[in-house]
Amino acid sequence: MAKDIDELIVGSIEYLKYIKNYPQYNILKESVPEVKENFLTNPSLPDVSNEETNINIMIVKDKPVERNFSYGLIQEEWMNSNSIDLLGTNISKCQKCPLEKTRTNFVFGTGNPGADIVVVGEAPGRDEDAQGKPFVGRAGQLLTDILKAINFTREEVFICNILKCRPPENRNPLPEEILQCEPYLFKQLELIKPKLILAVGTFAGQTLLKSKEPLGKLRGKFFDFYIGDIKAKLMVTYHPAALLRNPHWKKPTWEDVKLFRKEYDKK
Contact 114/192 with Cβ under 8 angstroms?
Answer: yes
* H helix or E strand, kind and range, residue 144: helix 137-149
Reference 235, options 34, 50, 29; nearest CA is 29
- Centre a 10 Å sphere on the Cβ of residue 171 and count the other Cβ atoms it contains: 9
pLDDT at residue 29, as a whole number: 34
Nearest 5°: phi and psi at 236? Answer: -110, 135
Tell me the C-alpha distance between 220 and 127, whole Å.
Answer: 29
pLDDT at residue 5, as a whole number: 56
**% residues pLDDT > 70 (the chain):** 72
Half-sphere exposure in the Cβ direction for 112 (13 Å, CA): 14
pLDDT digits (tens, 9 = 90+) for 163-211: 999 999 989 999 999 999 999 999 999 999 999 999 999 999 999 999 9
| Full set of structural domains in the chain with CATH | 2-266 (3.40.470.10)
pLDDT at residue 1, as a whole number: 55
